[in-house]
């Protein structure tokens, strides 16, 4: 016995070892089998990461797994993924693994699919991306045979999704969270398949959503008649959201299409079934909801599905005198009447229509009635709707468990009719849009994350006309701002029902308009607690013109008075035209564009200032402070024209380093402010002869350019008494200064030493003498550095004055000598010739002695001119007189020596 058990144990171990080891030996054969199936059956590019084989998972059958399967289309959907599957597995008899390609198809008994994504498409030309199976003629050796045959007894699809997009019919369907399984035998001619399905379904056609993540459950027993391709639904019960639906009938595939005959209805008639039709995320738990009245859904779908026809449809949804109340909410909805039909009697898709004959309800004493018809659903849908009633918006949250980001409030009164086709809405063909009636809103409060303060609309009245809507009255307040508006809206329905822009023309007035009341609040990150503000965006949907006026507009710390102008909003741009206001005791004119088309907002502006108070404007306006920071030290009036462009930050304030442009400024009746800063103090310390309080700044004009945070000032001139000052240079928005001020200073301002020199000269030329003194200004406005070349300038002037004095004295000496000589010659004309000759000889000797002549007296002179004592005495006296005069002129101090005869 022990020996038998031992042999049996060893045998089992060998079998188990073989079951584990054999898959490794057959792995290459399995890969070849999968590749053979792909090549023989599919026109597509297929990839997979691995193929596995197990004899244990589904013993005694073999289990084959393919991991990370991806099927990619060829043309006309080249490189688009048709399907991707995390894992797909097959079970089959072990003997199937040993079949060769010539021994017939492989028989598969079960299929398991995990996390599959299937993307089905039909393009505008009718091409489909899922027709990838090769026709049988492509494989002549296997005519009328396939690489696989199915004798399926079990299959599962887990955590998968399917999407279908038909570009020609504008139909889209998306099925997610799909879990489906079935048991049965496909190989028998007549059999049954027991299935269970759960999924979320969304369905839309021509931009209209009919299902939106609606929960679908279906437990169905399907009779299979494979000879006639007929599938019959037996004992079927499904759920749409929480609404139970029982249905029966069949679907049969024919050569020219599919024949459908299905009837369905909800088995219960309680009005609670209507709430069950609403997605559970919105209706919440309806088990404890109190209801009265009935609710029925009943329908028939019967006929052929071909390329040109659909089955006829007759679906009725009705309820009479119903009500409901949620247990935790204070109010109830009464007198509910619903009467709706979805019909198609011809089988032509275009003839399908929805007739909402009645939709009435009452909350408290407010009665609301509506009706509508929707036809031509598959093409250009036609809409005709009527609304008549009163609705207190605050009551919505009191009767229904709706979750709102912000609470609703206000009274809506409507009595209107609208008729249009969707093409007219999309193309703004106003002649085909018929609106009639009125809409009133009172005490409506609108709040959103996009605005910092709720908007309280105290009153709004609109009249609906064909093509346009008149805004007769609109009064609102947000924060401290008030708004009053009238105007026209051209395509409100296009904005509400499509992606069209909201077009209109409005007249807007306000007593107080604070820009900060319309800004987005700073958002604080939960992780880093850092406040961040997203840049404001001008909405894409706005295309309107606003003629605005406001008594006061507050922007940052600026208070603009009597603001008027035109604002055009279009293509995420705001255009300001002819905007004017009173500010800084003057007038401001603005024209320009603000754009939010890119991630960083930008602007281009032309600003005109007329009669601005300089001190107020340069203190209160950051832009002016940065363009001309020194101007805030002045008192008077300013005229300027500024052209600038740049980027805006998240609060629509100019980013200074991005600014570029130019400006022309004119100062009127201006003087230095008594409250001087360090700059003027340092200038006065360096140039004590200038009183900056007395600068003549009247009618000063200058031009400057700015770019990349730097302001370049073109040369301009100011005056102080008879001193002209030439100024040029630049500064940065970081307040760094780099200026030169050249003072053309008359010599008389330059101290005692210079003035003493001037007094000695005593010439008209000295009144014209001036020197340029350059003051280099660097540092910043609060801590400036001032350097001058005053010392060198005075030194050079002193040298200049000395040279002038010397030249003047030399010229004076020459003139006196000439005069003296003339006098001497003229006084001796009556003397004898011999005496004249002697005197002339003496004068020549004197002049020669004065100017350094080296000529010696000739013998003839000494001989021919007899010397007497009286004559010699006169000659000596004349010499000394001339020398003393020249010496005095030239500043000599030589004393007269005693003469010895």
Q: Pick the last residue of a domain from 738, 770, 804.
A: 804
800 and 840 fall within a common domain: no
Within 10 angstroms of residue 366's Cβ, the number of other Cβ atoms is: 15
Residues 867 and 792 in one domain: no
Alpha-carbon span 65 to 27, nearest angstrom: 11
Q: 273: which 2 tokens? A: 């079934």
8 A C-beta contact, residue 711 and residue 722: no
Q: Is residue 858 part of a domain?
A: yes
Helix (H) or strand (E) holding 281: helix 280-283
Helices 869-890 and 833-850: crossing angle in degrees, nearest 10, is: 30
Specify whether the CB–CB gap between 748 and 771 falls below 8 A: no
Same domain, 686 and 798: yes
- Name 57's Cβ contacts closer than 8 Å, sequence gap at least 6: 63
Query: Is residue 340 within 8 Å of 354, Cβ to Cβ?
Result: yes
Evaluate whether residue 740 is within a structural domain.
yes
Phi, psi of 888 (to 5 degrees): -65, -40
Contact, 625 vs 636, CB < 8 A?
no
Contacts of residue 638, defined as CB under 8 A and 6 or more positions apart, other chains included, come to 586, 609, 611, 612, 613, 614, 617, 631, 665, 666, 667, 668
pLDDT at 490: 82
Token pair belonging to 800 = 């200049």
pTM: 0.59
Query: Same domain, yes or no, for 743 and 800?
Result: yes
Q: 804, 837, 870: which is the final residue of a domain?
A: 804
Contact 169, 125 (CB under 8 A): no
pLDDT at 426: 75
- Are residue 883 and residue 790 in the same domain, yes or no? no
Centre a 10 Å sphere on the Cβ of residue 67 and count the other Cβ atoms it contains. 15
Beta bridge partners of 716: 727
The dihedral region occupied by 721, where left means phi > 0, alpha psi between -120 and 50, and beta the remainder, is left
Last-in-domain residue among 772, 804, 836: 804
601 occurs within a structural domain: no
Tokens of 431: 């002649």
User: Residue 736: which domain range?
Assistant: 676-694+715-804
Domain for residue 754, yes or no? yes
Give the Cα separation of 561 and 352 in Å (integer).
Answer: 60
Q: Say what the pLDDT of residue 723 is.
A: 86
Is the N-terminal amide bond of 60 cis, ω within 30° of 0? yes
- Alpha helix locations (H) across 141-237? none
Shortest CA distance to 725 belongs to which of 677, 779, 672?
A: 672
Question: pLDDT value at position 342?
Answer: 93
Task: Give me the pLDDT at residue 244, please.
Answer: 85
799 in the same domain as 719: yes
Same domain, 686 and 783: yes
Paired tokens of 133: 């199976």
Helix 833-850 / helix 790-827 crossing angle, nearest 10 deg: 170
- Write the secondary structure of 596-645 as one string of H (helix), E (strand) and C (coil): CCCCCCEEEEEEEEEEEEHHHHHHHCHHHHHHCHHHHHEEEEEEEEEEEE
> d(Cα 164, Cα 160) in Å, to the nearest integer?
14
Could you tell me if 763 and 848 lie in one domain? no
What SS3 class is residue 838?
A: helix
Q: Classify residue 99: in a domain, yes or no.
A: no
Q: What does pLDDT average to in each consecutive run of 10 residues of the chain (901 residues)?
A: 47 44 53 66 79 68 82 86 88 68 67 90 84 61 46 83 84 90 73 87 73 82 84 84 85 87 88 78 78 92 88 93 91 94 90 93 93 87 92 90 80 91 79 87 80 85 86 92 91 72 90 78 42 63 90 83 91 90 88 88 88 74 72 72 85 79 76 63 72 72 82 85 86 84 80 66 62 86 82 74 73 67 54 48 40 38 39 46 36 39 36
Same domain flag for 791 and 863: no
Residue 848 lies in a domain: yes
Spatial CB neighbours of 436, under 8 Å, sequence gap ≥ 6: 416, 417, 418, 464, 465, 466
Supply the pLDDT for residue 660.
87
- How far apart CA 63 and CA 53 sit, in angstroms, is 6
Same domain for 788 and 844, yes or no, is no
Identify whether 881 is part of a domain. Answer: yes
User: Is residue 20 in some structural domain?
Assistant: no
Query: Across-strand partners of 156?
Result: 112, 181
Name the β-bridge partners of 416.
Answer: 387, 437
Q: What is the largest CA-CA distance in the chain?
A: 190
> Are 836 and 871 within one domain?
yes
Strand partners, 549: 509, 564
Q: Give the count of domains, the chain.
A: 2
Both 832 and 881 in a single domain? yes
Radius of gyration of the chain (CA): 53
């Amino acid at each position: 016995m022990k020996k038998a058990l031992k042999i049996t144990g060893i045998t089992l171990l060998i079998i188990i070892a073989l079951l584990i080891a054999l898959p490794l030996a057959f792995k290459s054969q399995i890969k070849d089998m999968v590749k053979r199936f792909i090549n023989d059956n599919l026109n597509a590019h297929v990839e997979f990461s691995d193929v596995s084989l197990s004899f244990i998972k589904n013993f005694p059958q073999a289990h084959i797994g393919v991991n990370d399967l991806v099927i990619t289309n060829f043309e006309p959907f080249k490189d688009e993924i048709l399907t991707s599957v995390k894992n797909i597995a097959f079970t089959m008899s072990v003997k199937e693994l040993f079949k060769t390609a010539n021994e017939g198809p492989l028989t598969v008994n079960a299929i398991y699919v995990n996390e599959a994504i299937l993307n089905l498409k039909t393009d505008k030309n009718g091409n489909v991306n899922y027709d990838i199976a090769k026709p049988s003629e492509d494989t002549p050796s296997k005519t009328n045979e396939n690489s696989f045959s199915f004798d399926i007894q079990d299959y599962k699809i887990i955590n998968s999704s399917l999407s279908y997009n038909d570009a020609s019919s504008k139909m889209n369907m998306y099925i997610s969270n799909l879990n489906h399984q079935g048991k049965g035998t496909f190989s028998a001619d007549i059999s049954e398949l027991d299935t269970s399905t759960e999924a979320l379904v969304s369905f839309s056609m021509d931009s209209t959503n009919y299902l939106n993540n609606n929960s679908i459950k279906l437990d169905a027993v399907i009779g299979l008649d494979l000879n006639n391709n007929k599938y019959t639904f037996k004992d079927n019960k499904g759920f749409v959201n929480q609404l139970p639906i029982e249905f029966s009938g069949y679907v049969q595939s024919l050569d020219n299409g599919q024949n459908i005959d299905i009837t369905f209805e909800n088995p219960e008639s309680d009005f609670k079934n209507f709430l069950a039709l609403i997605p559970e995320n919105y209706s919440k738990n309806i088990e404890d909801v109190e209801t009265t009245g009935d609710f029925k859904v009943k329908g028939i779908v019967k006929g052929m599905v071909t390329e040109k026809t659909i089955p006829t449809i007759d679906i009725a949804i009705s309820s009479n005198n119903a009500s409901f109340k949620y247990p935790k909410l204070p109010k109830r909805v009464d007198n509910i009447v619903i009467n709706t039909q979805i019909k198609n009697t011809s089988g032509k898709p275009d003839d399908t229509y929805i007739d909402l004959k009645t939709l009435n309800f009452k909350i408290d004493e407010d009665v609301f009635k509506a009706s509508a018809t929707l036809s031509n659903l598959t093409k250009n849908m036609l809409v005709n709707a009527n609304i008549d009633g009163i609705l207190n918006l605050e009551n919505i949250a009191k009767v229904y468990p709706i979750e709102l980001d912000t609470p609703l409030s206000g009274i809506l009164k409507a009595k209107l009719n609208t008729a249009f086709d969707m093409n007219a809405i999309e193309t703004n063909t106003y002649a085909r849009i018929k609106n009639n009636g009125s809409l009133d809103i009172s005490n409506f409060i609108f709040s959103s994350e996009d605005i910092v303060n709720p908007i309280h609309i105290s009153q709004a009245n609109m009249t609906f006309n064909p093509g346009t809507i008149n805004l007769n009255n609109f009064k609102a307040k947000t924060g401290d701002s008030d708004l009053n508006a009238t105007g026209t809206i051209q395509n409100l329905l296009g904005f509400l029902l499509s992606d069209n822009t909201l077009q209109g023309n409005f007249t807007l007035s306000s007593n107080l308009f604070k820009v900060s009341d319309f800004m987005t609040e700073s958002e604080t990150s939960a992780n880093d607690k850092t406040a961040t503000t997203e840049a404001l965006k001008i909405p894409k949907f706005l295309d309107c013109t606003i003629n605005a006026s406001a008594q006061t507009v507050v922007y940052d710390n600026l208070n603009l008075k009597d603001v008027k102008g035109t604002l055009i909003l279009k293509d995420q741009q705001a255009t300001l035209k002819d905007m004017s206001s009173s500010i800084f005791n003057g007038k401001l004119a603005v024209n320009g564009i603000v754009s939010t088309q890119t991630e960083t907002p930008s602007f281009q502006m032309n600003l005109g200032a007329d009669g601005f108070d300089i001190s107020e404007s340069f203190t209160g306006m950051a832009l002016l402070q940065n363009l001309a920071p020194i101007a805030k030290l002045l008192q008077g009036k300013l005229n300027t024209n500024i052209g600038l462009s740049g980027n805006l930050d998240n609060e629509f304030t100019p980013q200074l380093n991005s600014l570029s442009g130019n400006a022309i400024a004119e100062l009127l009746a201006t003087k230095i402010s008594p409250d001087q800063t360090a700059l003027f103090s340092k200038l006065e310390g360096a140039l004590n002869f200038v009183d900056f309080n007395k600068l003549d700044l009247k009618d000063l004009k200058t031009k400057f350019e700015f770019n990349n945070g730097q302001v370049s000032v073109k040369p301009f001139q100011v005056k102080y008494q008879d001193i002209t000052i030439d100024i040029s240079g630049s500064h940065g928005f970081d307040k760094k200064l780099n200026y030169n001020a050249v003072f053309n200073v008359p010599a008389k301002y330059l101290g005692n030493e210079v003035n003493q020199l001037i007094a000695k000269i005593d010439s008209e030329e000295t009144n014209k003498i001036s020197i340029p003194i350059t003051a280099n200004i660097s540092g910043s406005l609060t801590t400036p550095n001032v350097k001058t070349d005053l010392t060198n300038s005075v030194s050079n002037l002193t040298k200049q004055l000395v040279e002038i004095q010397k030249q003047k004295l030399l010229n004076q000496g020459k003139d006196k000598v000439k005069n003296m000589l003339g006098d001497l010659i003229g006084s001796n004309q009556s003397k004898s010739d011999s005496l004249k000759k002697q005197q002339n000889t003496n004068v020549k000797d004197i002049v020669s002695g004065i100017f350094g002549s080296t000529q010696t007296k000739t013998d003839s002179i000494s001989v021919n001119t007899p010397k007497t004592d009286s004559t010699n005495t006169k000659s000596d006296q004349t010499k000394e007189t001339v020398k003393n005069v020249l010496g005095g002129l030239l500043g000599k101090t030589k004393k007269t020596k005693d003469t010895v005869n």
